[in-house]
C-alpha cells in the first residue's frame, strides 16, 4: 500500500506500524517503551505522531498503517506533546544526573536535550522508594524508573522468568518483584537483560570497581586479571571504536597500566572446560549416564534450572564455568609455580555477564578461598580505564602472560551461542577417532536463531545436539527431558539471547547489528589462530601432565567440577 509521511509517498505492508515504516524510510521517531520484536504497548507516548482524520495524536509504535494514510512526525503539535511528556517524566525523576551511572548515556537525558527542556515547568510530589542493594549482581532504584516497561517485557517475553512486574496503580505505580521484595530473595536469575534495556539508571550492575582498586593498591595482594572472549570484541565500543573491533591486546595493555600484576586469558579456562566437558559427555554416553548433558557455562541458565527445574540438575554438567576453572587454577597451579600464598592472590574476571558476580560468590565455588574474588563487567572496566586517564585507542597491543595465556580458536567462540557445543564436538571427535575432523566448523549450530539443532556421526556414534539461547526457548527441551521424550545427547544453553556476546554487562545500548558484528569477530579470531581445537593447547596438555593428571580424573574433579543447589521460586 501507499502512505504519506511528512508529505512524501512511501510504500508499506498491511499490518506494519507507522514506526516500522518510518524507521525503514530513515525518519527518526523517538521511543522509550518500544522494543523491536516485542509486544508494543504505546505506554510512554513519546512516539506520538499526527494522522490526518484522527482527533488525537496516536502512538506510532502500536498504530497500524492504512492505505492512503497521511502522517506528520514533526508538526508543532507533535513536538509540543513530546516535550511535555519529557518534562513530566523529569518532574518525577531524581535530579542526580551528575552522579548517575548512566550520565551521558541516558535516553531521558538525550530526549531532554533533543526537545530543549531548559527548566522545570512542573513541580509537585515525587515518588519515594527504597533502593534495592541486596543482590550481588543488580541494583534497583525505583525512584529513577520511568515506567516504560521494557524490563518487564524482557523478563517475561524473552527470558521467561517473570521476576518483576508492575505493581500498584496511578501515581504510586512502580516496577518491583512480588510483594516488593528484593531481587536477591526471588527467582531472579541475574541475567541482566533488564539492565541492558533500561533507558535510565533504574537498573544497574552491582559495582565492583572499588574492591578491585583497593586490591591493586594493596602491596600485599598479587592481582591477576582474566578476560572473557566476548569482552575483547565489545570493549572498543565504549571508546568510540567500531562494534566488533578486536581489542584483545589493548585490554591487556590497559590492565597492566591500571596496576594489575598478571593478565591471563579466560580462553585458557574455556579450553580447559572443553577438555573436561567433552570427557564428561563421552563418559555419560559410553556408560549409560544421565542424558542429555546440559551445559553449565552460563550462571544465569544454571540458576534458572535451580529455581524452576531442580529435578533436572543431574543433567547439568558438573564442570565449573571457564573463568571459575581458571580462577581455581590461578590459586592452585599458578600460585604453586610462582611460590605465592593463595590467600595473597586476588583474581579479577572481566566478564560480559552480570550473573558472574553472583556466581563468583557461590560457596560451591570455593575451597579455602573463592576461585574468583571480583567480577567486572565490560562497562565497569571501561570506567576504570577512563578514570585512570588511559587513551585506550592509542594503546599498543600486548600479549597475555604465561602459563595461562595460550588458547585456541575453539575457546574464542565460547562467547557466542553454539560456540561451546561446536568446541566440544571438535574435541569429542578427536577423542573418539584419534584425529581432527576434516571440516572443523559446524554451520548448523551457528547463527542468530534462538534454537539450532544438529545430528553428528563420529566413528559410528550418532550424537543429537542443540544450541539454545534466551531462556524462553529452553522450556520445551526441559519438558521433553521430564517426559522422557528428549532425543538429545548434549544441549548447550546460554541465558542471554545470542549468548555472552549479548550479556547483561556489555556496552549499552545493544542492538542486533552490534551483536552480529561482535559474533563475526569471534569467528574471525577462531579462523585466525593456528590451533582451533582445545586438545591442541600445549599449556593445557602441560597442566594435566604436571598438575591435574587425567581429564575428568580425581584431582580434576576436585578443582574443576562443582555441584548445584535446589532453590525455591518465591
Among 100, 250, 500, 534, the active-site one is: 500
Active site residue 145: no
Query: C-alpha cell of 420?
Result: 561451546
Q: Quote the pLDDT of residue 39.
A: 87
Average pLDDT (390-413) is: 97
Give the H/E segment covering residue 250: helix 248-258
Cell of 330: 590461578
- Reply yes or no on whether the pLDDT at 473 is more than 90: yes
Gyration radius of the chain over CA positions: 25
Please give the torsion angle defined by the CA atoms of residues 404, 408, 414 and 419, in that order, rounded to the nearest 10 degrees.
Answer: -160
Helix (H, G, I), strand (E, B) or coil at 304: helix
pLDDT tens digits, 312-363? 999 999 999 999 999 999 999 999 999 999 999 999 999 999 999 999 999 9
Q: How would you class 517 by CB atoms within 10 Å of its CB: exposed for 0-12, middle for 13-18, buried for 19 or more? A: middle
Give the bridge partners for 5, in sequence order. Answer: 8, 71
* Annotation marks residue 364 as catalytic: yes
List % helix, strand, coil for the chain (3-state, nearest 5). 45, 15, 45
Under DSSP, the state recorded for 241 is: P
At 127, the pLDDT band (50, 70, 90 cuts) reads confident
- The CB density around residue 281, as the number of other CB atoms within 10 Å, is 25
Q: What percent of the chain has pLDDT over 90?
A: 94
Residue 232 pLDDT class (50, 70, 90 cuts): very high
Q: Which of 62-66, 135-139, 170-174 has the lowest mean pLDDT?
A: 170-174
Average pLDDT over residues 63-78: 97
Is the pLDDT at 569 greater than 80? The verdict is no
Catalytic annotation present for 297: yes
pLDDT at 570: 59
Is the pLDDT confidence value at 367 over 90?
Answer: no
* Strand 174-176 versus strand 165-167 pairing type: antiparallel
pTM as predicted: 0.95
Q: How far apart are CA 226 and CA 414, in angstroms?
A: 15
**Which residue segments constitute the domains of the chain, with CATH numbers given?**
2-74 (3.10.20.740), 90-205 (3.30.70.20), 210-560 (3.40.50.1780)
Of the residues 135, 296, 317, 332, only one is catalytic, namely 317
Please indicate whether residue 538 is annotated as part of the active site: no
The DSSP output letter for 202 is S
Instruction: Give me the mean pLDDT over the 172-199 stretch.
Output: 94
Instruction: Confirm whether 280 is a catalytic residue.
Output: yes
CA 290 to chain centre: 29
Task: Give the CA distances from residue 47 to residues 41, 61, 78, in Å, rounded to whole numbers and listed in that order.
Answer: 11, 7, 9
Specify the residue for cell string 604465561.
402
Q: Identify the active-site residue in 205, 237, 238, 280.
A: 280
What is d(CA 456, CA 464) in angstroms, rounded to the nearest whole number?
6
Average pLDDT over residues 375-379: 98
Lowest mean pLDDT among 100-114, 169-183, 528-542: 169-183
418-472 pLDDT, tens digit per residue, is 999 999 999 999 999 999 998 889 889 999 999 999 999 999 999 999 999 999 9
Nearest alpha carbon to residue 153 among 34, 48, 264, 45:
34
- The helix or strand, by DSSP H or E, that contains position 139, with its residue range, turns out to be strand 138-140
Catalytic-labelled residue, pool 237, 359, 380, 492: 359
Among residues 242, 364, 550, 570, which one is catalytic?
A: 364
Q: What is the per-residue pLDDT for 351?
A: 98
How confident is the model over 492-542, as pLDDT tens digits?
A: 999 999 999 999 999 999 999 999 999 999 999 999 999 999 999 999 999
pLDDT value at 489 more than 90: yes
**Is residue 513 among the annotated active site residues?**
no
For residue 411, which of 280, 318, 533, 561 has the smallest C-alpha distance?
A: 533
Q: In this predicted structure, what is the pLDDT of residue 343? A: 96
Residue with cell 547483561: 504
Mean pLDDT of 170-186: 91
Annotated catalytic residue within 331, 356, 357, 514: 356
Q: In 388-491, where does DSSP find H-type helix?
A: 409-412, 419-433, 475-483
Amino acid at each position: 500500500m501507499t502512505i504519506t509521511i511528512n508529505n512524501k509517498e512511501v510504500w508499506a505492508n498491511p499490518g506494519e506500524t507507522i514506526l516500522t515504516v518510518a524507521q525503514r524510510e530513515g525518519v527518526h521517531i523517538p521511543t522509550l517503551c518500544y522494543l523491536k520484536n516485542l509486544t508494543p504497548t504505546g505506554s510512554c507516548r513519546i512516539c506520538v505522531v499526527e494522522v490526518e482524520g484522527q482527533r488525537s495524536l496516536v502512538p506510532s509504535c502500536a498504530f497500524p498503517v492504512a492505505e492512503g494514510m497521511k502522517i506528520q512526525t514533526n508538526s508543532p503539535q507533535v513536538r509540543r506533546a513530546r516535550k511535555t511528556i519529557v518534562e513530566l517524566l523529569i518532574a518525577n525523576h531524581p535530579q542526580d544526573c551528575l552522579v548517575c551511572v548512566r550520565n551521558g548515556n541516558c535516553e531521558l537525558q538525550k530526549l531532554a536535550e533533543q526537545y530543549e527542556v531548559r527548566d522545570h515547568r512542573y513541580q509537585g510530589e515525587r515518588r519515594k522508594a527504597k533502593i534495592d542493594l541486596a543482590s550481588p549482581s543488580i541494583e534497583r532504584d525505583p525512584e529513577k524508573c520511568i515506567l516504560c516497561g521494557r524490563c518487564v517485557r524482557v523478563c517475561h517475553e524473552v527470558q521467561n522468568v517473570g521476576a518483576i512486574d508492575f505493581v500498584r496503580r496511578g501515581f504510586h505505580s512502580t516496577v518491583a518483584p512480588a510483594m516488593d521484595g528484593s531481587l536477591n530473595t526471588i527467582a531472579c536469575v541475574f541475567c541482566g537483560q533488564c539492565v541492558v534495556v533500561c533507558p535510565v539508571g533504574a537498573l544497574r550492575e552491582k559495582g565492583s570497581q572499588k574492591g578491585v582498586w583497593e586490591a591493586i593498591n594493596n602491596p600485599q595482594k598479587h592481582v591477576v586479571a582474566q578476560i572473557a572472549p566476548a569482552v575483547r570484541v565489545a570493549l572498543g565500543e565504549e571508546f568510540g571504536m567500531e562494534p566488533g573491533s578486536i581489542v584483545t591486546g589493548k585490554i591487556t595493555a590497559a590492565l597492566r597500566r591500571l596496576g594489575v600484576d598478571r593478565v591471563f586469558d579466560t580462553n585458557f579456562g574455556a579450553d580447559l572446560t572443553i577438555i573436561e566437558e567433552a570427557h564428561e559427555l563421552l563418559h555419560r554416553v559410553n556408560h549409560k549416564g544421565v542424558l542429555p548433558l546440559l551445559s553449565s557455562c552460563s550462571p544465569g541458565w544454571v540458576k534458572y534450572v535451580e529455581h524452576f527445574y531442580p529435578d533436572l540438575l543431574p543433567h547439568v554438567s558438573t564442570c565449573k564455568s571457564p573463568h571459575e576453572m581458571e580462577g581455581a587454577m590461578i590459586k592452585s597451579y599458578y600460585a604453586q609455580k610462582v611460590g605465592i600464598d593463595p590467600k595473597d592472590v586476588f583474581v579479577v574476571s572481566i566478564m560480559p555477564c552480570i550473573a558472574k558476580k553472583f556466581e563468583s560468590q557461590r560457596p560451591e565455588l570455593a575451597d579455602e578461598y573463592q576461585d574468583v574474588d571480583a567480577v567486572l563487567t565490560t562497562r565497569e572496566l571501561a570506567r576504570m580505564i577512563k578514570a585512570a586517564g588511559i587513551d585506550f585507542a592509542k594503546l599498543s597491543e600486548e600479549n597475555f602472560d604465561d602459563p595461562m595465556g595460550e588458547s585456541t580458536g575453539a575457546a574464542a567462540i565460547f562467547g557466542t551461542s553454539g560456540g561451546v557445543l561446536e568446541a566440544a564436538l571438535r574435541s569429542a571427535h578427536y577423542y573418539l577417532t584419534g584425529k581432527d575432523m576434516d571440516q572443523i566448523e559446524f554451520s548448523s549450530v551457528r547463527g542468530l536463531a534462538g534454537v539450532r539443532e544438529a545430528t553428528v556421526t563420529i566413528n559410528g556414534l550418532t550424537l543429537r545436539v542443540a544450541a539454545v539461547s534466551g531462556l524462553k526457548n529452553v522450556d520445551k527441551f526441559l519438558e521433553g527431558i521430564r517426559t522422557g521424550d528428549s532425543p538429545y545427547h548434549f544441549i548447550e544453553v546460554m541465558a542471554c539471547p545470542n549468548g555472552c556476546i549479548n550479556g547483561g554487562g556489555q556496552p549499552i545500548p545493544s542492538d542486533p547489528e552490534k551483536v552480529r558484528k561482535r559474533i563475526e569477530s569471534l569467528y574471525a579470531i577462531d579462523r585466525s589462530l593456528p590451533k582451533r581445537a582445545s586438545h591442541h593447547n600445549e599449556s593445557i596438555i602441560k597442566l594435566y601432565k604436571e598438575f591435574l593428571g587425567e581429564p575428568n580424573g580425581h584431582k580434576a574433579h576436585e578443582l574443576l567440577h562443582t555441584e548445584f543447589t535446589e532453590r525455591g521460586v518465591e
